[in-house]
Amino acid sequence: MNTPDLDKPLIKAVGISKDYVIGDNVVHALSDVHFSIIKGELVAIMGPSGSGKTTLMNLLGCLDTPTRGQYYLDGINVSELTPDDLAAIRSSKLGFVFQSFNLLARTSALSNVQLPLLYSRIDKIQRRSKAEKTLTDVGLSDRVDHHPS
């Protein structure tokens, strides 16, 4: 038995290219990239400095759009969406993990975790509940009131 949703790519890149114009020069950061990722698949983006990893992650995270090609996220062609539509997708479908965490210094762990939920228009009680569950899920339930050092 074949389950269609399990075979459908969550992420699909079709001929993605990204160029940057710097003065009189054009830098080809990505050229004709093709791949797909199925939900639950473990993927590592690896390569030497300057190979386009950050550019690719910015495209996949809907922080930028390709110069050419199409990028599908959960079946939606996001490569042609407006900045407002991309912001809505980032808010509802994506999460980011940064090498350098940017926590608000005078704010508790609970408040720092709740902050992104403000943009989702989730009411205060649900925000707190989701943030507490998230902190519990990552083993930090005992640090809800702690502040970043």
Domain boundaries, the chain: 4-93, 109-143
37: Cβ contacts below 8 Å, ≥ 6 apart: 9, 10, 11, 12, 43
Predicted local distance difference test score (pLDDT) of residue 4: 54
The 10s digit of each residue's pLDDT in 70-114 is 999 999 999 989 999 998 998 888 877 766 677 888 999 999 999
CATH topology of domain 4-93: Rossmann fold (3.40.50)
Q: Indicate the SS3 state at residue 85.
A: helix
**To the nearest whole number, what is the mean pLDDT of the chain?**
90
pLDDT band at residue 132 using 50, 70 and 90 as cut-offs: very high
Predicted local distance difference test score (pLDDT) of residue 120: 78
Determine phi and psi for 135, rounding to 5 degrees: -65, -40
Predicted local distance difference test score (pLDDT) of residue 78: 94
CA distances from 146 to 37, 103, 142 (A): 37, 12, 9
Predicted local distance difference test score (pLDDT) of residue 117: 86
pTM of the model: 0.71
